[in-house]
Amino acid sequence: MRRAIPVLAGLVLLVALLALADMSLNSYYLRILGLMGIYIVLTVSLNLPNGFTGDFSLGHAAFMAVGGYCAAVLTMPLVSKELLLTELPTWLQETVVPFPIATVAGGLLAALVALPVGLVVLRLRGHYLAVATIGLLIVVQGIATNWDSVTRGARGLSGLQPHTTLWWSFGWAVVTIFVVWRMAYSPFGRAMVSIRDDPLAAACRGVRVFRTRLVAFIVSAFFAGVGGSLLAHQITAVTPSTYSFDVTFLVIIMLVVGGMGSVTGSVIGAVIMTVVPVLLRDLERELDMVGTAQLVIAGALIAFMIFRRQGLMGTREFRLAGRFGPKASSPSPAPDQSQTPTSS
């Protein structure tokens, strides 16, 4: 149990910092901090297929939409439901589910959707898989825009309660990190990485290749659904554009900047890509040079891809003094790191 002490200390520190932030920051910065927690959930979970298994999915926003709409319909106050969602079946019309349960339900529905989707798209690998998952995103967007009786189309669902506090978004971030870490540094994680390195050799060494990829995809979709619900209840509204390509690509950027195949890298990537744009925006407002922030970020990303393609962490992990999770099952850092996630 000695290994758990640094982790517990870290958690206590996190709680203290969040309490401090909760008391001292204004609502604008609180929102950004909350958003950071949500992006940690999204990035760390996307790491399972994209980073560890080598299945480059661009469909994360699709699962966020599934989870977000599901949770929104469940938590929407009765008054708003009577007004906005008149065509809902009566049992749904008359129930309001508490936010935590609705969020888990959103995650479960996303995972449920990921099962048949995964069975089909995971027959592909590499670029083909990426394109197929974009297709999924388009399909989900299409459904969200046209299923008027549930999603209200392009108008979306508004009037949600602002349930997503700092505590919920960072609580889920901690849960996501814990689950993904335990999966990544375990027999399951070794199986994922072996598939990323060489799927054929993995099969010859007894790895259940398809099942492992499918499970990683589904767990990732669960947390995407959770993240979708958190986002919906932070903005207090969902429209199809809440879960657009932009969100998918922002999360991909966070993942790549942090380092694919590193849980702590994903956290760092999410934090940086949330904080830096905000700081730059403040700066450009002060200097009266509107628009430069985006140029700077874009330039920085290009430079980053040229000089540090493997991301900040590569596949390494930032570890507290002791260890966090099962002992010494992580790949050790090597002098030469050739970070090509897929070899297909």
Partner 1 sequence: MASEDKSDLRSPEDRGTTHSSADELLHVAGLGRKFGGLTALADYDVDLRSGELLGIIGPNGAGKTTLFNVLTGLVPPSSGEVRFCGKDQTGAAPQRLAEVGMARTFQNIRNFASLSVIDNVKVALQLHESVPLWQTIVGTRRYRADQARIHDRAVDLLELLQLDQARDHRADGLPYGAQRRLEIACALALSPKLLLLDEPAAGMNPTETLELMHLIRRVHEEFKLTIMLIEHNVHFIMTICHRIQVLNYGRVIAEGEPAYIRKHPAVIEAYLGHGASDA
Query: Residue 326 CB, nearest distance to partner 1 (Å)?
Result: 6
Measured from the Cβ of residue 85, the count of other Cβ atoms closer than 10 Å reads 18
Residue list 284-323, contact with partner 1 (CB under 8 A): 315
User: Tokens 């200390």 — which residue?
Assistant: 9
Selected from 23, 79, 204, 287, the binder of partner 1 by CB under 8 A is 204
331 DSSP assignment: P
Q: Which of 25, 97, 134, 203 binds partner 1 (CB under 8 A)?
A: 203
Please tell me whether residue 179 binds partner 1 under the rule CB under 8 A: yes
- Per CB under 8 A, 329 contacts partner 1: yes
Decide if 192 contacts 110 (C-beta within 8 A).
Answer: no
Of 93, 145, 186, 241, the one binding partner 1 by CB under 8 A: 186
For 158, the 3-state DSSP assignment is strand
Residue whose CB is less far from partner 1, 294 or 329:
329
Applying CB under 8 A, does 255 fall inside the site for partner 1? no
Closer of 110 and 207 to partner 1 (Cβ): 207
Among 30, 153, 188, 237, which residue sits at the site for partner 1 (rule: CB under 8 A)? 188
Interaction between residue 197 and partner 1 (CB under 8 A): yes
178 versus 245: smaller Cβ distance to partner 1: 178
Beta bridge partners of 237: 158
CB 37 within 8 A of CB 234: no
The correct pick among 205, 285, 308, 319 for binding partner 1 (CB under 8 A) is: 205
Sequence letter at residue 142: G
Assess contact for 81 and 93: CB atoms under 8 A: yes
The footprint of partner 1 on residues 141-160 (CB under 8 A) is none
User: Phi-psi category of 232—alpha, beta or left, where left has phi over 0 and alpha has psi -120 to 50?
Assistant: alpha
The label of the residue with tokens 């996630």 reads 341
Among 119, 201, 300, 303, binds partner 1 (CB under 8 A): 201
Please pick, from the candidates 207, 250, 253, 255, the single residue that binds partner 1 as defined by CB under 8 A.
Answer: 207
Q: Does 334 bind partner 1 (CB under 8 A)?
A: yes
Q: For residue 177, which of 46, 339, 67, 4 has the smallest C-alpha distance?
A: 46
CA distance 65 to 60: 9
The answer to whether 121 and 229 have CB atoms below 8 angstroms apart is no
Site for partner 1, residues 57 to 96, rule: CB under 8 A = none
Residue with Cβ nearer partner 1 (23 or 204): 204
Whole-number Å distance between alpha carbons of 182 and 201: 24
Of 59, 193, 198, the C-alpha closest to 132 is: 59
Sequence-separated (6 or more) residues with CB below 8 Å from residue 298: none
3-state secondary structure of 237: strand
Q: CB of residue 322 vs partner 1: minimum separation in angstroms? A: 15
- By CB under 8 A, residue 259 contacts partner 1: no
Q: Does 214 bind partner 1 (CB under 8 A)?
A: no
Task: Please state, as a whole number, how many other Cβ atoms lie within 10 Å of the Cβ of residue 201.
Answer: 11
Least separation in angstroms between CB 188 and partner 1: 6
Size of the site for partner 1 (CB under 8 A): 37
The footprint of partner 1 (CB under 8 A) covers 178-179, 182-183, 186-188, 190-191, 193-194, 196-198, 200-209, 215, 261, 315, 325-326, 328-329, 331-332, 334-336, 338
